[in-house]
Structure 1
Protein backbone atom coordinates (compact mmCIF):
# COMPACT_ATOMS: atom_id res chain seq x y z
CA UNK A 1 0.00 0.00 0.00
CA UNK A 2 1.33 3.45 -0.87
CA UNK A 3 2.32 5.65 2.06
CA UNK A 4 -0.28 8.25 1.14
CA UNK A 5 -3.12 5.68 1.04
CA UNK A 6 -1.95 4.11 4.29
CA UNK A 7 -1.95 7.48 6.08
CA UNK A 8 -5.43 8.36 4.85
CA UNK A 9 -6.78 4.94 5.82
CA UNK A 10 -5.36 5.16 9.33
CA UNK A 11 -6.61 8.69 9.86
CA UNK A 12 -10.05 7.82 8.54
CA UNK A 13 -10.29 5.11 11.20
CA UNK A 14 -9.96 7.64 14.03
CA UNK A 15 -13.08 9.05 15.73
CA UNK A 16 -14.25 12.22 14.01
CA UNK A 17 -13.82 14.24 17.20
CA UNK A 18 -10.12 13.39 17.36
CA UNK A 19 -9.35 14.71 13.88
CA UNK A 20 -8.61 18.43 13.85
CA UNK A 21 -8.15 18.67 10.09
CA UNK A 22 -10.70 18.24 7.32
CA UNK A 23 -10.24 15.66 4.56
CA UNK A 24 -8.79 18.18 2.11
CA UNK A 25 -6.08 19.12 4.60
CA UNK A 26 -5.32 15.44 5.24
CA UNK A 27 -4.84 14.84 1.54
CA UNK A 28 -2.55 17.86 1.33
CA UNK A 29 -0.47 16.56 4.22
CA UNK A 30 -0.23 13.07 2.75
CA UNK A 31 0.58 14.48 -0.69
CA UNK A 32 3.40 16.58 0.72
CA UNK A 33 5.11 13.37 1.86
CA UNK A 34 4.67 11.51 -1.41
CA UNK A 35 7.78 10.88 -3.50
CA UNK A 36 7.89 12.24 -7.06
CA UNK A 37 10.44 12.28 -9.88
CA UNK A 38 13.27 14.65 -8.99
CA UNK A 39 12.57 18.25 -9.91
CA UNK A 40 15.23 20.47 -11.51
CA UNK A 41 16.52 23.55 -9.69
CA UNK A 42 16.78 27.05 -11.15
CA UNK A 43 18.75 30.23 -10.64
CA UNK A 44 16.97 33.14 -12.35
CA UNK A 45 18.63 36.46 -13.12
CA UNK A 46 15.68 38.71 -12.34
CA UNK A 47 17.08 42.12 -13.32
CA UNK A 48 14.83 45.18 -13.27
CA UNK A 49 11.35 44.95 -11.69
CA UNK A 50 10.08 46.19 -15.08
CA UNK A 51 10.62 42.65 -16.37
CA UNK A 52 7.39 41.86 -14.53
CA UNK A 53 5.35 43.83 -17.07
CA UNK A 54 7.57 43.99 -20.14
CA UNK A 55 7.74 41.51 -23.00
CA UNK A 56 11.39 40.79 -23.81
CA UNK A 57 13.79 37.94 -24.48
CA UNK A 58 14.45 37.41 -20.78
CA UNK A 59 10.83 36.82 -19.79
CA UNK A 60 10.53 34.63 -22.87
CA UNK A 61 13.46 32.66 -21.47
CA UNK A 62 11.64 32.23 -18.14
CA UNK A 63 8.54 30.93 -19.93
CA UNK A 64 10.52 28.60 -22.15
CA UNK A 65 12.35 27.03 -19.22
CA UNK A 66 9.12 26.46 -17.28
CA UNK A 67 7.52 24.79 -20.31
CA UNK A 68 10.15 22.07 -20.03
CA UNK A 69 9.42 21.36 -16.36
CA UNK A 70 6.64 19.16 -15.02
CA UNK A 71 4.16 21.28 -13.07
CA UNK A 72 5.46 21.48 -9.48
CA UNK A 73 3.42 20.91 -6.35
CA UNK A 74 4.89 24.11 -4.94
CA UNK A 75 7.80 26.52 -5.39
CA UNK A 76 10.40 27.40 -2.77
CA UNK A 77 12.09 30.68 -3.74
CA UNK A 78 15.28 32.13 -2.28
CA UNK A 79 15.19 35.79 -3.27
CA UNK A 80 17.92 38.42 -3.03
CA UNK A 81 15.32 40.79 -1.62
CA UNK A 82 14.59 39.11 1.71
CA UNK A 83 17.48 39.36 4.16
CA UNK A 84 16.87 38.62 7.83
CA UNK A 85 18.55 37.89 11.13
CA UNK A 86 18.33 34.12 11.19
CA UNK A 87 16.67 32.10 8.44
CA UNK A 88 12.92 32.38 7.95
CA UNK A 89 10.31 30.74 5.73
CA UNK A 90 6.95 32.26 4.81
CA UNK A 91 4.11 30.28 6.39
CA UNK A 92 0.94 32.21 5.55
CA UNK A 93 -1.86 30.75 3.44
CA UNK A 94 -2.19 33.85 1.23
CA UNK A 95 1.09 35.76 0.86
CA UNK A 96 0.81 39.41 -0.15
CA UNK A 97 2.47 40.82 -3.28
CA UNK A 98 5.24 43.13 -2.07
CA UNK A 99 6.23 46.09 -4.26
CA UNK A 100 9.67 46.57 -2.73
CA UNK A 101 11.06 49.19 -5.14
CA UNK A 102 10.63 52.85 -6.00
CA UNK A 103 10.49 55.19 -8.97
CA UNK A 104 8.66 52.93 -11.43
CA UNK A 105 5.40 53.42 -13.40
CA UNK A 106 2.07 53.10 -11.60
CA UNK A 107 1.17 50.04 -13.67
CA UNK A 108 3.99 48.08 -12.00
CA UNK A 109 2.65 48.85 -8.52
CA UNK A 110 -0.78 47.65 -9.58
CA UNK A 111 0.47 44.16 -10.40
CA UNK A 112 -0.75 41.46 -8.03
CA UNK A 113 0.44 37.86 -8.03
CA UNK A 114 -2.08 36.02 -5.82
CA UNK A 115 -0.37 32.63 -5.65
CA UNK A 116 -1.32 30.75 -2.48
CA UNK A 117 1.21 29.86 0.17
CA UNK A 118 1.70 26.40 1.63
CA UNK A 119 1.85 26.42 5.45
CA UNK A 120 2.40 22.65 5.60
CA UNK A 121 5.42 22.85 3.30
CA UNK A 122 6.74 25.80 5.31
CA UNK A 123 6.51 23.69 8.47
CA UNK A 124 8.35 20.86 6.73
CA UNK A 125 11.09 23.27 5.62
CA UNK A 126 11.36 24.70 9.15
CA UNK A 127 12.07 21.20 10.46
CA UNK A 128 14.41 20.04 7.69
CA UNK A 129 17.65 21.67 8.84
CA UNK A 130 19.86 20.06 11.48
CA UNK A 131 22.29 22.99 11.48
CA UNK A 132 20.07 26.09 11.30
CA UNK A 133 16.90 26.99 13.15
CA UNK A 134 14.45 28.04 10.42
CA UNK A 135 11.66 30.23 11.79
CA UNK A 136 8.11 30.36 10.46
CA UNK A 137 7.20 33.85 9.24
CA UNK A 138 3.69 35.29 8.93
CA UNK A 139 4.57 38.85 7.90
CA UNK A 140 6.59 38.88 4.66
CA UNK A 141 4.90 37.60 1.49
CA UNK A 142 6.28 37.51 -2.06
CA UNK A 143 8.84 40.19 -2.95
CA UNK A 144 9.65 41.16 -6.51
CA UNK A 145 12.63 38.79 -6.63
CA UNK A 146 10.02 36.05 -6.48
CA UNK A 147 6.82 37.23 -8.16
CA UNK A 148 8.36 39.24 -11.02
CA UNK A 149 9.88 36.08 -12.50
CA UNK A 150 7.48 33.37 -11.29
CA UNK A 151 4.52 35.23 -12.81
CA UNK A 152 5.95 34.56 -16.27
CA UNK A 153 6.47 30.87 -15.53
CA UNK A 154 3.08 30.26 -13.91
CA UNK A 155 0.83 33.16 -14.97
CA UNK A 156 -2.32 31.59 -13.51
CA UNK A 157 -0.81 31.92 -10.01
CA UNK A 158 -2.07 28.41 -9.29
CA UNK A 159 1.20 26.97 -7.92
CA UNK A 160 1.78 27.62 -4.19
CA UNK A 161 4.88 29.72 -3.47
CA UNK A 162 6.85 30.07 -0.25
CA UNK A 163 10.05 32.06 0.31
CA UNK A 164 13.19 31.24 2.28
CA UNK A 165 15.15 34.24 3.56
CA UNK A 166 18.87 34.95 3.44
CA UNK A 167 20.44 35.15 6.90
CA UNK A 168 22.86 38.05 6.56
CA UNK A 169 25.04 36.63 9.37
CA UNK A 170 25.82 33.40 7.51
CA UNK A 171 29.01 32.91 5.50
CA UNK A 172 28.77 31.74 1.88
CA UNK A 173 29.83 28.27 3.01
CA UNK A 174 27.08 28.21 5.64
CA UNK A 175 24.47 29.21 3.06
CA UNK A 176 25.71 26.39 0.83
CA UNK A 177 25.54 23.84 3.65
CA UNK A 178 22.03 24.92 4.63
CA UNK A 179 20.92 24.58 1.03
CA UNK A 180 22.18 20.98 0.88
CA UNK A 181 19.68 20.09 3.59
CA UNK A 182 16.85 21.08 1.24
CA UNK A 183 17.75 18.25 -1.17
CA UNK A 184 14.85 15.92 -0.16
CA UNK A 185 12.34 18.53 -1.35
CA UNK A 186 13.41 17.96 -4.96
CA UNK A 187 11.90 14.48 -4.76
CA UNK A 188 8.61 15.76 -3.36
CA UNK A 189 7.56 17.84 -6.35
CA UNK A 190 9.04 21.10 -5.06
CA UNK A 191 10.69 23.44 -7.56
CA UNK A 192 13.49 25.33 -5.82
CA UNK A 193 14.30 28.71 -7.38
CA UNK A 194 17.12 31.09 -6.52
CA UNK A 195 16.49 34.65 -7.75
CA UNK A 196 19.20 37.30 -8.00
CA UNK A 197 21.89 38.39 -10.47
CA UNK A 198 25.43 37.04 -10.80
CA UNK A 199 26.93 40.39 -11.75
CA UNK A 200 25.00 43.11 -9.93
CA UNK A 201 26.55 46.53 -9.40
CA UNK A 202 23.81 49.15 -9.63
CA UNK A 203 26.21 51.91 -8.65
CA UNK A 204 28.25 51.35 -11.81
CA UNK A 205 25.44 50.98 -14.36
CA UNK A 206 25.65 52.98 -17.58
CA UNK A 207 21.97 53.95 -17.68
CA UNK A 208 22.27 54.94 -21.35
CA UNK A 209 22.96 51.28 -22.16
CA UNK A 210 20.58 49.67 -19.69
CA UNK A 211 18.65 48.02 -22.50
CA UNK A 212 21.72 47.04 -24.50
CA UNK A 213 23.79 43.87 -24.38
CA UNK A 214 26.84 45.65 -23.03
CA UNK A 215 29.37 44.82 -20.30
CA UNK A 216 32.38 46.61 -18.85
CA UNK A 217 35.64 44.65 -19.13
CA UNK A 218 35.58 43.68 -15.45
CA UNK A 219 31.99 42.42 -15.79
CA UNK A 220 32.97 40.33 -18.82
CA UNK A 221 35.87 38.84 -16.88
CA UNK A 222 33.80 38.03 -13.80
CA UNK A 223 30.89 36.63 -15.81
CA UNK A 224 33.14 34.39 -17.92
CA UNK A 225 34.82 32.94 -14.82
CA UNK A 226 31.50 32.43 -13.03
CA UNK A 227 30.03 30.64 -16.04
CA UNK A 228 33.09 28.42 -16.35
CA UNK A 229 32.95 27.48 -12.66
CA UNK A 230 29.21 26.75 -12.89
CA UNK A 231 29.52 24.55 -15.98
CA UNK A 232 32.52 22.70 -14.52
CA UNK A 233 30.77 22.06 -11.19
CA UNK A 234 33.53 24.00 -9.41
CA UNK A 235 31.45 25.02 -6.41
CA UNK A 236 34.35 25.83 -4.11
CA UNK A 237 35.60 28.60 -6.36
CA UNK A 238 32.08 30.05 -6.44
CA UNK A 239 31.71 29.82 -2.66
CA UNK A 240 35.09 31.52 -2.21
CA UNK A 241 34.21 34.31 -4.64
CA UNK A 242 36.03 36.96 -2.58
CA UNK A 243 39.43 35.51 -3.49
CA UNK A 244 39.12 36.22 -7.21
CA UNK A 245 40.27 39.81 -7.27
CA UNK A 246 39.00 43.15 -8.50
CA UNK A 247 36.61 41.90 -11.19
CA UNK A 248 34.64 39.83 -8.67
CA UNK A 249 34.81 42.63 -6.12
CA UNK A 250 33.11 44.96 -8.61
CA UNK A 251 30.67 42.29 -9.78
CA UNK A 252 29.56 41.42 -6.22
CA UNK A 253 29.83 44.62 -4.15
CA UNK A 254 27.20 43.16 -1.79
CA UNK A 255 26.38 39.44 -1.61
CA UNK A 256 22.57 39.26 -1.56
CA UNK A 257 22.06 38.94 -5.34
CA UNK A 258 24.82 36.34 -5.62
CA UNK A 259 24.00 34.06 -2.67
CA UNK A 260 20.84 32.53 -4.21
CA UNK A 261 23.16 30.90 -6.77
CA UNK A 262 24.88 28.98 -3.96
CA UNK A 263 21.53 27.55 -2.83
CA UNK A 264 20.96 26.21 -6.34
CA UNK A 265 24.47 24.82 -6.79
CA UNK A 266 24.34 23.04 -3.43
CA UNK A 267 21.42 20.98 -4.73
CA UNK A 268 23.31 19.70 -7.77
CA UNK A 269 23.65 15.92 -7.82
CA UNK A 270 26.33 13.82 -9.52
CA UNK A 271 26.10 13.71 -13.32
CA UNK A 272 23.24 16.24 -13.52
CA UNK A 273 23.20 18.45 -16.58
CA UNK A 274 23.80 22.19 -16.18
CA UNK A 275 22.35 24.64 -18.68
CA UNK A 276 22.81 28.42 -18.95
CA UNK A 277 20.15 30.65 -20.48
CA UNK A 278 19.42 34.40 -20.65
CA UNK A 279 23.22 34.71 -20.54
CA UNK A 280 23.56 38.39 -21.46
CA UNK A 281 24.87 41.58 -19.81
CA UNK A 282 22.99 44.86 -19.53
CA UNK A 283 24.10 48.42 -18.80
CA UNK A 284 27.73 47.42 -18.33
CA UNK A 285 27.45 46.08 -14.77
CA UNK A 286 24.53 43.64 -14.68
CA UNK A 287 24.07 40.13 -16.08
CA UNK A 288 20.81 38.24 -16.58
CA UNK A 289 22.55 34.86 -16.63
CA UNK A 290 20.25 32.09 -15.44
CA UNK A 291 20.95 28.43 -14.66
CA UNK A 292 18.99 25.19 -14.84
CA UNK A 293 20.33 22.08 -13.10
CA UNK A 294 18.71 18.72 -13.79
Structure 2
Protein backbone atom coordinates (compact mmCIF):
# COMPACT_ATOMS: atom_id res chain seq x y z
CA UNK A 1 0.00 0.00 0.00
CA UNK A 2 1.43 3.37 -1.03
CA UNK A 3 2.16 5.64 1.96
CA UNK A 4 -0.13 8.61 2.42
CA UNK A 5 1.45 11.83 1.19
CA UNK A 6 1.35 14.36 3.98
CA UNK A 7 0.02 17.85 3.30
CA UNK A 8 2.37 20.82 3.66
CA UNK A 9 1.44 24.08 5.35
CA UNK A 10 2.48 27.70 5.45
CA UNK A 11 0.86 29.45 8.42
CA UNK A 12 0.78 33.20 8.91
CA UNK A 13 1.76 33.20 12.58
CA UNK A 14 1.27 36.84 13.55
CA UNK A 15 1.75 37.99 17.14
CA UNK A 16 3.15 35.68 19.83
CA UNK A 17 -0.04 36.51 21.75
CA UNK A 18 -1.84 34.02 19.53
CA UNK A 19 -0.38 31.38 21.86
CA UNK A 20 -2.54 32.67 24.72
CA UNK A 21 -5.51 33.88 22.71
CA UNK A 22 -8.27 32.17 20.78
CA UNK A 23 -9.36 33.77 17.51
CA UNK A 24 -10.24 32.79 13.95
CA UNK A 25 -6.61 32.13 13.09
CA UNK A 26 -5.80 29.94 16.07
CA UNK A 27 -9.08 28.08 15.58
CA UNK A 28 -8.08 27.33 11.98
CA UNK A 29 -4.70 25.99 13.12
CA UNK A 30 -6.46 23.81 15.68
CA UNK A 31 -8.87 22.49 13.05
CA UNK A 32 -6.00 21.68 10.69
CA UNK A 33 -4.40 19.59 13.43
CA UNK A 34 -7.67 17.77 13.98
CA UNK A 35 -8.71 17.10 10.40
CA UNK A 36 -5.45 16.49 8.54
CA UNK A 37 -3.72 13.10 8.57
CA UNK A 38 -1.63 12.81 11.71
CA UNK A 39 2.09 13.04 10.87
CA UNK A 40 4.73 10.73 12.29
CA UNK A 41 7.12 13.69 12.47
CA UNK A 42 7.13 17.41 11.71
CA UNK A 43 9.70 19.53 9.92
CA UNK A 44 9.23 23.15 11.00
CA UNK A 45 10.59 26.11 9.02
CA UNK A 46 10.29 29.43 10.81
CA UNK A 47 11.02 33.02 9.86
CA UNK A 48 12.73 33.39 13.22
CA UNK A 49 15.72 31.12 12.59
CA UNK A 50 17.46 33.24 9.98
CA UNK A 51 21.08 32.20 9.67
CA UNK A 52 24.23 32.23 7.59
CA UNK A 53 24.34 28.73 6.15
CA UNK A 54 21.83 25.95 6.74
CA UNK A 55 21.21 24.18 10.03
CA UNK A 56 18.74 21.64 11.37
CA UNK A 57 18.00 20.91 15.00
CA UNK A 58 19.40 17.50 15.90
CA UNK A 59 18.82 17.19 19.65
CA UNK A 60 16.58 14.67 21.42
CA UNK A 61 14.71 17.36 23.37
CA UNK A 62 14.64 20.81 21.73
CA UNK A 63 14.11 23.72 24.11
CA UNK A 64 11.23 26.16 23.84
CA UNK A 65 12.70 29.52 22.77
CA UNK A 66 10.94 32.69 23.90
CA UNK A 67 12.42 34.99 21.27
CA UNK A 68 10.32 38.08 21.98
CA UNK A 69 9.91 40.75 24.62
CA UNK A 70 7.28 42.89 26.29
CA UNK A 71 4.60 40.22 26.56
CA UNK A 72 2.78 38.79 29.61
CA UNK A 73 4.66 36.42 31.89
CA UNK A 74 2.21 33.64 30.99
CA UNK A 75 3.69 33.59 27.51
CA UNK A 76 7.24 33.16 28.84
CA UNK A 77 6.00 30.43 31.16
CA UNK A 78 4.58 28.41 28.26
CA UNK A 79 6.62 25.41 27.12
CA UNK A 80 6.18 23.18 24.08
CA UNK A 81 8.00 20.02 25.08
CA UNK A 82 7.82 18.08 21.81
CA UNK A 83 10.66 15.59 21.33
CA UNK A 84 13.22 16.08 18.59
CA UNK A 85 14.45 13.52 16.09
CA UNK A 86 18.20 13.24 15.45
CA UNK A 87 17.35 10.56 12.87
CA UNK A 88 15.16 12.93 10.86
CA UNK A 89 17.82 15.64 11.13
CA UNK A 90 20.40 13.24 9.67
CA UNK A 91 18.00 12.26 6.89
CA UNK A 92 17.41 15.91 5.96
CA UNK A 93 21.15 16.58 5.90
CA UNK A 94 21.57 13.61 3.57
CA UNK A 95 18.76 14.74 1.26
CA UNK A 96 20.32 18.18 0.92
CA UNK A 97 23.85 16.94 0.17
CA UNK A 98 26.24 18.23 -1.08
CA UNK A 99 24.93 21.27 0.80
CA UNK A 100 26.73 21.51 4.13
CA UNK A 101 23.97 21.22 6.75
CA UNK A 102 24.98 21.90 10.35
CA UNK A 103 23.44 19.47 12.85
CA UNK A 104 22.50 21.94 15.57
CA UNK A 105 22.33 21.15 19.29
CA UNK A 106 21.73 24.63 20.70
CA UNK A 107 18.76 26.29 19.01
CA UNK A 108 15.47 24.48 19.69
CA UNK A 109 11.98 25.59 18.62
CA UNK A 110 11.38 29.33 18.31
CA UNK A 111 7.97 30.95 18.63
CA UNK A 112 7.41 30.91 14.88
CA UNK A 113 7.34 27.11 15.12
CA UNK A 114 5.97 26.23 18.54
CA UNK A 115 3.54 29.15 18.51
CA UNK A 116 1.49 27.47 15.77
CA UNK A 117 2.22 23.84 16.67
CA UNK A 118 0.92 24.36 20.21
CA UNK A 119 -2.50 25.01 18.65
CA UNK A 120 -2.31 22.22 16.06
CA UNK A 121 -0.89 19.53 18.34
CA UNK A 122 -1.28 20.76 21.93
CA UNK A 123 -0.10 17.48 23.45
CA UNK A 124 3.39 18.05 21.99
CA UNK A 125 3.66 14.32 21.29
CA UNK A 126 4.93 14.45 17.68
CA UNK A 127 8.71 14.76 17.13
CA UNK A 128 9.71 18.12 15.63
CA UNK A 129 12.91 19.28 13.96
CA UNK A 130 13.45 22.81 12.70
CA UNK A 131 15.31 23.88 9.57
CA UNK A 132 16.97 27.29 9.43
CA UNK A 133 16.61 29.80 6.59
CA UNK A 134 19.92 30.80 5.00
CA UNK A 135 19.88 34.60 4.75
CA UNK A 136 22.69 34.60 2.19
CA UNK A 137 20.72 32.78 -0.53
CA UNK A 138 18.30 34.15 -3.17
CA UNK A 139 14.61 33.33 -3.26
CA UNK A 140 14.89 30.68 -5.99
CA UNK A 141 17.36 28.76 -3.82
CA UNK A 142 14.79 28.44 -1.03
CA UNK A 143 12.14 27.22 -3.48
CA UNK A 144 14.54 24.58 -4.80
CA UNK A 145 15.43 23.47 -1.28
CA UNK A 146 11.74 22.74 -0.79
CA UNK A 147 11.79 20.65 -3.96
CA UNK A 148 14.71 18.62 -2.60
CA UNK A 149 12.77 17.84 0.57
CA UNK A 150 9.57 16.76 -1.18
CA UNK A 151 10.18 13.04 -0.58
CA UNK A 152 9.76 13.58 3.17
CA UNK A 153 6.05 14.00 2.58
CA UNK A 154 5.84 10.40 1.41
CA UNK A 155 7.52 9.25 4.65
CA UNK A 156 5.04 10.52 7.23
CA UNK A 157 6.65 13.95 7.66
CA UNK A 158 4.49 17.07 7.64
CA UNK A 159 6.30 20.28 6.74
CA UNK A 160 4.92 23.28 8.63
CA UNK A 161 6.44 26.63 7.67
CA UNK A 162 5.48 29.89 9.34
CA UNK A 163 5.97 33.57 8.66
CA UNK A 164 3.81 36.32 7.19
CA UNK A 165 3.64 37.20 3.48
CA UNK A 166 3.11 40.84 4.48
CA UNK A 167 5.23 41.83 7.47
CA UNK A 168 6.00 45.48 8.10
CA UNK A 169 6.00 46.16 11.82
CA UNK A 170 7.48 49.62 11.38
CA UNK A 171 4.26 50.72 9.69
CA UNK A 172 1.90 48.62 11.80
CA UNK A 173 -1.09 50.27 13.40
CA UNK A 174 -1.31 48.49 16.68
CA UNK A 175 -5.09 48.40 16.89
CA UNK A 176 -6.06 45.03 15.45
CA UNK A 177 -8.84 46.32 13.18
CA UNK A 178 -7.13 49.38 11.72
CA UNK A 179 -7.56 50.23 8.06
CA UNK A 180 -5.31 48.07 5.90
CA UNK A 181 -2.72 49.82 3.74
CA UNK A 182 -3.52 49.51 0.01
CA UNK A 183 -0.01 48.21 -0.75
CA UNK A 184 -0.45 45.48 1.89
CA UNK A 185 -3.77 44.34 0.44
CA UNK A 186 -2.40 44.45 -3.10
CA UNK A 187 0.66 42.36 -2.29
CA UNK A 188 -1.39 39.84 -0.30
CA UNK A 189 -3.73 39.46 -3.27
CA UNK A 190 -0.76 39.06 -5.62
CA UNK A 191 0.41 36.13 -3.51
CA UNK A 192 -3.05 34.57 -3.54
CA UNK A 193 -3.39 35.02 -7.29
CA UNK A 194 -0.14 33.15 -7.98
CA UNK A 195 -0.22 30.29 -5.46
CA UNK A 196 -1.20 27.73 -8.11
CA UNK A 197 1.40 28.79 -10.67
CA UNK A 198 3.61 25.92 -11.79
CA UNK A 199 6.90 26.02 -13.63
CA UNK A 200 10.62 26.59 -13.23
CA UNK A 201 11.67 28.32 -10.02
CA UNK A 202 13.37 31.25 -11.74
CA UNK A 203 10.13 32.13 -13.60
CA UNK A 204 7.74 31.73 -10.66
CA UNK A 205 5.95 35.00 -9.87
CA UNK A 206 6.20 34.31 -6.15
CA UNK A 207 9.91 33.55 -6.34
CA UNK A 208 10.25 36.87 -8.18
CA UNK A 209 8.08 38.59 -5.59
CA UNK A 210 10.19 41.74 -5.55
CA UNK A 211 8.83 42.57 -9.02
CA UNK A 212 5.56 43.58 -7.37
CA UNK A 213 5.44 47.35 -6.79
CA UNK A 214 4.36 46.88 -3.18
CA UNK A 215 6.92 44.21 -2.28
CA UNK A 216 9.48 46.47 -0.62
CA UNK A 217 6.82 47.84 1.74
CA UNK A 218 5.17 44.46 2.27
CA UNK A 219 8.52 42.85 3.11
CA UNK A 220 11.22 45.33 4.13
CA UNK A 221 13.23 42.20 4.96
CA UNK A 222 12.44 38.80 3.40
CA UNK A 223 12.65 36.35 6.32
CA UNK A 224 8.89 36.21 6.98
CA UNK A 225 8.09 35.69 3.29
CA UNK A 226 10.67 33.04 2.40
CA UNK A 227 9.09 30.14 4.36
CA UNK A 228 6.22 30.18 1.86
CA UNK A 229 8.64 29.29 -0.95
CA UNK A 230 9.62 26.03 0.75
CA UNK A 231 5.97 24.96 0.82
CA UNK A 232 5.43 25.88 -2.82
CA UNK A 233 8.59 23.98 -3.71
CA UNK A 234 7.21 20.88 -2.01
CA UNK A 235 4.15 20.85 -4.25
CA UNK A 236 3.69 17.99 -6.71
CA UNK A 237 2.12 18.56 -10.17
CA UNK A 238 -1.14 16.83 -9.26
CA UNK A 239 -1.78 18.84 -6.08
CA UNK A 240 -4.17 21.64 -5.31
CA UNK A 241 -3.19 24.71 -3.30
CA UNK A 242 -5.84 26.02 -0.91
CA UNK A 243 -6.14 28.88 1.58
CA UNK A 244 -7.41 27.71 4.99
CA UNK A 245 -7.68 31.31 6.22
CA UNK A 246 -6.69 34.83 5.23
CA UNK A 247 -6.85 38.24 6.83
CA UNK A 248 -4.86 41.34 7.72
CA UNK A 249 -4.11 42.59 11.23
CA UNK A 250 -2.46 45.78 12.45
CA UNK A 251 -2.85 47.19 8.90
CA UNK A 252 0.45 45.66 7.73
CA UNK A 253 0.54 42.00 8.79
CA UNK A 254 -0.95 39.24 6.63
CA UNK A 255 -2.35 36.14 8.35
CA UNK A 256 -2.67 34.24 5.08
CA UNK A 257 -2.24 30.48 5.46
CA UNK A 258 -1.57 28.12 2.55
CA UNK A 259 -2.08 24.36 2.28
CA UNK A 260 -0.50 22.14 -0.36
CA UNK A 261 -2.18 18.74 -0.76
- Using structure 1 for the length normalisation, give the TM-score: 0.85
Paired residues of 1:94 and 1:117 also in contact (CA < 8 A): yes
Greater mean alpha carbon deviation, residues 72-81 or residues 58-67: 58-67
Gaps of 5+ in 1: 3-34
Measured after TM superposition, the shift of residue 36 of structure 1 is: 2.5
Q: Which has the higher helix share?
A: 1
Matches within 5 A, 1:1-294: 36-208=3-175, 211-212=176-177, 214-233=179-198, 236-245=204-213, 247-294=214-261
Task: Give the deviation of 1:231 after TM superposition.
Answer: 3.6
Separation in 2, partners of 1:55, 1:224 = 26
> Which blocks of at least 5 consecutive residues in structure 2 are unaligned?
none
Kept in 2, the 8 Å contact 1:131–1:178? The answer is no
- Aligned mates of 1:84, 1:287 — CA distance in 2: 23
Matches of 1:230 and 1:131, distance apart in 2: 29
CA distance in 2 between counterparts of 1:256 and 1:54 reads 25
Deviates more, 1:171-180 or 1:142-151: 171-180
Aligned length: 258
| CA deviation after TM superposition for structure 1 residue 177, in Å | 1.1
CA deviation after TM superposition for structure 1 residue 271, in Å: 2.3
How far 1:262 moved relative to its partner?
0.2
Q: Secondary structure at the match of 1:78?
A: strand
Give CA deviations for 1:37-72 in whole Å, capped at 9, x if unaligned.
110100000000000111111100101122221111
Q: Which of structures 1 and 2 has the larger relative contact order (alpha carbons within 8 angstroms, sep 6+)? A: 2
